[in-house]
Structure 1
Amino acid sequence: MTEAINDWMAGFEARIAELQQKSATLQQNIAASGATATSPDGSVRVTVGPTGALENLQLAPSTTRYPPAELAGIIMRAAAEAQREAAHRVAQAFAPVAEGTDAMRMLQEFLPPPPEHISDAPVDGLAGVDDIDEPPPPPAQPAPPVAPPPRPTRRPSTQDDDDFEQPW
């Protein structure tokens, strides 16, 4: 009986050691699961941590050529790509510990899908680097001049000039 208990205890300790090793590996892999994405023209570089939190943003001097709304779109697309990559890396790190579990299936359901098409063209319709060959839109027609509002007419004073000496 003592031998059976010792065998069970040795197996239990081996299982604990294995779980501790898997846990340490998981922590290291998750810590290294951050990602960096760069815009197609290389002017924007975004780094996020394993949770998707922004850790670094680098803008090349060439980004000054973009209007603010377009630059914001380029940054947001690069950040989304880095966050997508980080999420997939975290799931890969988690897989050896949770493969086949409900937790892993749930995690995989919430992973962002891969992008259909990566482009510098912003969603707001402003020209991006891959839209340069398109002709510019025709200039907008100036609005007709608006007449200024009429000036208020001055009402004649009801005060008498004799009141001029009074201080109020």
Structure 2
Amino acid sequence: MNDFDPEDLERITARAEEMLARVEELRSEIDVAVGHGVAADGQVRVTVGPSGRLTEVELAPRAMRMDSRRLAEAMLRAAQEAQDDVARKVEAVMAGGLGGDLPDDHFSDLLESYEASMEEQLRALGDGQRDTR
């Protein structure tokens, strides 16, 4: 037999709701994260969104005087810098936001105990239905 107390269900539900609310807050913070990258002495500037997708590219008039290969390299370097920047920001949000909110061992034990209790009750229900036939 397991040690699950049905009163624990309320605590498990409340904890799960708290965690879901925090995940939604984190999602909102991540959705507005942007990364910036600069190359060629500021002549090429790139901005990316949280997924790393380019959202803006700025080329200073002097950048247009660069040969195509140097300009392409500068754009690539700025884009990579912007992607690294947004990745650091998203990682910081996740690390700061979930670190203390992850389920502790007691919560995990309660959840496992609840699941085992539900499985046992479902089995008993199934056995009871077979006996009445």
TM-score by length of 2: 0.62
Give how far 1:98 is off: 5.9
What is the aligned partner in structure 1 of residue 32 from structure 2? 32
Aligned residue type for 2:16: I
CA distance in 1, matches of 2:60, 2:47: 15
What is the aligned partner in structure 1 of residue 98 from structure 2? 97
Percent identity over the alignment? 32
What is the aligned partner in structure 2 of residue 68 from structure 1? 68
CA distance in 1, matches of 2:50, 2:6: 43
Partner SS state of residue 57, structure 1: strand
Assess if the C-alpha contact under 8 Å between 2:40 and 2:74 holds in 1: no
CA distance in 1, matches of 2:18, 2:50: 24
CA distance in 1, matches of 2:67, 2:16: 57
Q: Whose radius of gyration is greater, 1 or 2?
A: 1
What is the aligned partner in structure 1 of residue 122 from structure 2? none
CA distance in 1, matches of 2:36, 2:72: 17
CA distance in 2, matches of 1:76, 1:69: 11
Give how far 1:28 is off: 1.1
Structure 1 residue ranges without an equivalent (≥5): 102-168
**4+ residue stretches of structure 1 with deviation over 3 A?**
none
Q: What are the within-5 Å matches in structure 2 for residues 74-89 of structure 1? A: 74-89=74-89
What is the aligned partner in structure 2 of residue 45 from structure 1? 45
CA distance in 1, matches of 2:37, 2:71: 15
CA distance in 1, matches of 2:64, 2:6: 72
CA distance in 1, matches of 2:49, 2:82: 9
CA distance in 2, matches of 1:59, 1:78: 11
Aligned residue type for 1:97: L
Q: What are the within-5 Å matches in structure 2 for residues 120-135 of structure 1? A: none
Q: CA RMSD in A?
A: 2.2
Partner SS state of residue 72, structure 1: helix
Cα shift readout 1:113-149 (whole Å, capped 9, x = no counterpart): xxxxxxxxxxxxxxxxxxxxxxxxxxxxxxxxxxxxx
Q: How many residues align?
A: 96
CA distance in 2, matches of 1:39, 1:18: 43
Higher helix share: 2
CA distance in 1, matches of 2:60, 2:68: 14
Partner SS state of residue 41, structure 1: coil
